[in-house]
Structure 1
Amino acid sequence: MRVFGLKSCDTCRKALKALRAAGHEPQVIDVRADGIAEADLQAIVDRFGDAAVNTRSATWRALSDEERQRPAAELLTAHPTLLKRPVIAAGGQWHQGWTATVRDALLG
């Protein structure tokens, strides 16, 4: 299990705490410090499309209108913190956010 997020993200911390309490040992990828591997980025964009980009973030608000028109993969390559997080890869499946549906899928 791999969790893509930010160390400073409250939602990511909640997800990691719950996953560890359930006995999982997730590999944490801090997208700001570690970046996102090209293959992982492509898998995320293939699965979530434009929804992979957090359009409510401060990073998004700082972008020009021209930059906002770029494809999701280009935006996330240039600004990995735009990733809507956490993104969790587990058992061949990709999950985004820490919603009740994601919790049910990963915690049972």
Structure 2
Amino acid sequence: MITLYGIKACDTCRRARKALEHKGLPFQVHDLRKDGLSTERLEHLLEHVPVMTLLNKRSTTWRALDDADKAKLDAHSARELMLANPTLIKRPLLDTGEDIRVGYRDGDYDDLDG
């Protein structure tokens, strides 16, 4: 089953969801703000995506973090920050079961089969 990770208020997440619906692909939505993020799910994502690629340094959540937390950033602290603040994860994330795609631009899902 395809899983689309995102947040409800994100315009790009909505466009990604519509693209999947348009292709008729079955998928489930995991709202990072509402559903949170378990250690197991994060580790699954990190098996496919480097930790610093997954961390969204352009997010409102990142800008609101304490400067000390940002200054001491490494792979371990990035994991901890994402677990504590799941909206730090770049979105949308599409887990196809075979790979994980970070972000969305029109046409990114054209190669997916339904």
The normalised TM-score by structure 2 is: 0.83
Number of matched pairs: 108
How far apart in 1 are the matches of 2:83 and 2:16?
24
Instruction: Quote the residue 2:56 is aligned against.
Output: 54
| Residue among 84, 88, 91 paired with 2:90 | 84
Report SS of the residue matched to 1:3.
strand
- Asked whether the equivalents of residues 87 and 97 of structure 1 are also in contact (C-alpha less than 8 Å), the reply is yes
- Does residue 1:73 correspond to 2:79, yes or no? yes
- Check 1:107–1:97 CA distance in 2 against 1; reply closer, same or farther (3 A cut): farther
Instruction: Quote the residue 1:63 is aligned against.
Output: 65
> What amino acid is the match of 2:101?
H
Identity, % of aligned pairs?
A: 40
Larger Rg: 2
Instruction: Quote the residue 1:4 is aligned against.
Output: 5
How far apart in 2 are the matches of 1:63 and 1:101?
33
CA RMSD of aligned residues (A): 2.0
How far apart in 2 are the matches of 1:67 and 1:102?
33
How far apart in 1 are the matches of 2:107 and 2:84?
30
Shift in Å at residue 106 of structure 1? 3.1
More helix by share: 1
- Does residue 1:29 correspond to 2:35, yes or no? no
Cα offsets for 1:41-88 (capped at 9, x unmatched): 012233232111110111111112221234221111011011100111
Instruction: Quote the residue 1:102 is aligned against.
Output: 108
How far apart in 2 are the matches of 1:56 and 1:36?
19
How far apart in 2 are the matches of 1:78 and 1:61?
15
- Check 1:57–1:92 CA distance in 2 against 1; reply closer, same or farther (3 A cut): same
Q: What are structure 2's unaligned runs of at least 5 residues?
A: none
